[in-house]
Amino acid sequence: MQGKKEYQEKLFAQFQLSERIPKENFYRRLKGVLDLDFLYGLTKSYYGSSGQKSIGPVVFFKLCLVGYLENIVSDRQLVQHSSMRLDILYFLGYDIDEELPWHSTISRTRQLYPESVFEAVFTEILGMCVDKGMVSGHTQAIDSAPVKANASMDSLELKAPKEDLETHLHQIRHISSMDKKKVR
């Protein structure tokens, strides 16, 4: 006998996001690795002491990270995409019935912070991921577009990195630990 599925929306539902996200999901693992509480101290001077509460720095930088990882450059698309993905909602700390921040709030918050804050956050997050084994440095990916070059093969040069991977990762860890001491 042929079945037919009919959708009937429930008035009440028992649903826990944490039970729906698989243990091996990337965003679930990332949520377990990242401790972004240092952001409150790092960004405190950029907020006033009165008025409405703004988007928290942890949520803002997690949204920036999602945008980078998902290759989304539009804040509108980022909010729309994130609201449809249970694993991203879980990573951001939002439940399925909570609205994400407006795209314009994300844009204004991005303009609030100077470049140095973004660099410090990037270095700290990279250090956390390296320490937890999520980044090993054995593979390099390059994003490119095919463009017809007007160059001579004779002008090509071999470029070697200034330092080896271990030295670079050691520097990142050292900078990361120094930034933690400044925040405290």
Domain of 67, in residue numbers? 17-42+54-113
Residue 150 falls within a domain, yes or no?
A: no
In eight-state DSSP terms, residue 48 is -
Amino acid at 132: K
User: Helix (H, G, I), strand (E, B), or coil: what is residue 90?
Assistant: helix
CA neighbor of 93 nearest in space, from 137, 61, 125, 128: 61
Residue 184 falls within a domain, yes or no?
A: no
Confidence band (pLDDT; 50, 70, 90) for 172?
confident
In the chain, how many domains are there? 1
Asked if residue 117 lies in contact with residue 42, where contact means CB atoms within 8 angstroms, the answer is yes
Residue 179 falls within a domain, yes or no?
A: no
Give residue 37's pLDDT. Answer: 93
- pLDDT at position 62 over 90: yes
Residue 147 falls within a domain, yes or no?
A: no
- 0.75 exceeded by pTM: no
CA neighbor of 27 nearest in space, from 70, 72, 78, 71: 70
Residue 89 falls within a domain, yes or no?
A: yes
Tokens encoding 20: 């729906």
- pLDDT at position 183 over 60: no
Give residue 8's pLDDT. Answer: 77
Cα(156)–Cα(20) distance, integer angstroms: 52
CA neighbor of 59 nearest in space, from 93, 109, 96: 93
Residue 171 falls within a domain, yes or no?
A: no
Q: Between 183 and 88, whose confidence is greater? A: 88
Q: Kindly give, in sequence order, each residue whose CB lies less than 8 Å from that of residue 15, ignoring residues fewer than 6 positions away.
A: 96
Residue 8 falls within a domain, yes or no?
A: no
- pLDDT at position 29 over 60: yes
- Average the pLDDT over 81-109 and give the result: 94
- Average the pLDDT over 151-165 and give the result: 76
CA neighbor of 97 nearest in space, from 5, 6, 10, 39: 10
Residue 173 falls within a domain, yes or no?
A: no
